[in-house]
């Protein structure tokens, strides 16, 4: 028997056509207020609500791995939107945000790496030299972010990641994650990469809690 749709619980799983259409519209910039210091521009394929929220939760917390193709394709659209406003990149390196070892074990895999692999494949088929480099590593255990406020999230993540060797040789680096809410995770990932001599050109996610047009973006 086919599993129900992860977005609406109706027929047509793993994700029905109407729910899938919620991430096929034009990607936009994440609207983070206040903008975390040092964080480059962030683009998102959709707003974190309705079927998109349900699908992401099902994918990363309930083992609905069949959603990786649709969500990874959405991530690719967010990366492509970011590149529109940047100088032409000869190659793009997608760097997944590092999850804690406990979250990878409990979720039976690295869900952000899975999405990044799909996104890179989509971008390559579109003619872009895109690759995935897991260039961040966790440094310590961190608490679950659910329920934490902005300041508590930032404190929980401070110093939680480190760069792997060779990050200073990467070019066209785009940080990728499934979701952005306050930007604390992406800001910590940016800090870690910069400490290793790598300056990301931006970040892309499947969904953001709020999005906005490109004008008046915060200066990096």
Give the highest mean pLDDT range of 30-39, 101-110, 115-124. 115-124
Per-residue pLDDT, 144: 55
- Reply yes or no on whether the pLDDT at 149 is more than 90: no
pLDDT, tens digit, 9 for 90 and up, residues 45-82: 999 999 999 999 999 888 899 999 999 999 999 999 99
Residue 187's pLDDT band (boundaries 50, 70, 90)?
A: very high
Per-residue pLDDT, 214: 63
Q: ω before 187 within 30° of 0 (cis)?
A: no
What are the DSSP calls for the chain, one per residue? -PPPPTTTSSSSTTS-HHHHGGGSS--EEE--SSPPTT---EEEEEESSHHHHHHHHHHHHS--GGGHHHHHHHHHHHHHHHHHTS---S-EEEEEPPPPHHHHHHTTS-HHHHHHHHHHHHHHHTT--EEE---EEE-S-----TT--HHHHHHHHTT-EEEPTTGGG--SEEEEEEEESSSHHHHHHHHHHHHTT----EEEEEEES-EE-STTPPP-
> Measured on CA atoms in the order 180, 181, 183, 186, is the torsion positive or negative?
negative
pLDDT, tens digit, 9 for 90 and up, residues 93-111: 999 998 766 555 555 678 9
- Reply yes or no on whether the pLDDT at 90 is more than 90: no
Residue 43 has φ and ψ, to the nearest 5°, of: -115, 155
Region 14-38: mean pLDDT is: 90
Region 152-180: mean pLDDT is: 85
* Burial of residue 79, with CB atoms counted within 10 A of its CB: 0-12 exposed, 13-18 middle, 19 or more buried: buried
Domain 40-212 has CATH 3.40.50: yes
58 with 6: CB under 8 angstroms?
A: yes
Per-residue pLDDT, 33: 87
Residue 139's pLDDT band (boundaries 50, 70, 90)?
A: confident
Q: How far apart are CA 163 and CA 35, in angstroms?
A: 23
- Reply yes or no on whether the pLDDT at 132 is more than 70: yes
Per-residue pLDDT, 122: 98
Per-residue pLDDT, 212: 86
Q: ω before 34 within 30° of 0 (cis)?
A: yes
Per-residue pLDDT, 89: 85
> Measured on CA atoms in the order 71, 23, 53, 135, is the torsion positive or negative?
positive
> Average model confidence (pLDDT) for the chain?
87
């Amino acid at each position: 028997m086919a599993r129900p749709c992860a977005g609406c619980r109706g027929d047509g799983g793993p994700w029905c056509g109407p729910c899938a259409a919620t991430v096929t519209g034009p990607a936009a910039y994440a609207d983070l207020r206040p903008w975390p210091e040092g964080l480059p521009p962030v683009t998102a394929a959709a707003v974190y609500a309705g079927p998109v929220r349900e699908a992401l939760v099902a994918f990363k917390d309930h083992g609905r791995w069949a959603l990786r193709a649709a969500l990874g394709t959405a991530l690719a659209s967010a990366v492509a939107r970011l590149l529109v406003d940047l100088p032409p990149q000869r190659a793009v390196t997608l760097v997944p945000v590092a999850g804690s070892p406990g979250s990878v074990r409990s979720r039976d895999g690295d869900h952000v790496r899975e999405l990044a692999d799909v996104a890179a494949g989509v971008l390559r088929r579109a003619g872009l030299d895109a690759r995935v480099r897991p260039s961040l590593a966790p440094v310590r255990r961190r608490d679950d972010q659910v329920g934490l406020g902005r300041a508590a999230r930032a404190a929980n993540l401070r110093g939680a990641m480190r760069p792997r060797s060779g990050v200073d040789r990467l070019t066209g680096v785009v940080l990728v994650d499934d979701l952005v809410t306050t930007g604390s995770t992406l800001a910590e990932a940016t800090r870690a990469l910069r400490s290793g001599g790598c300056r990301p050109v931006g970040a892309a996610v499947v969904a953001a809690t709020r999005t906005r047009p490109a004008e008046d973006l915060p200066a990096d």
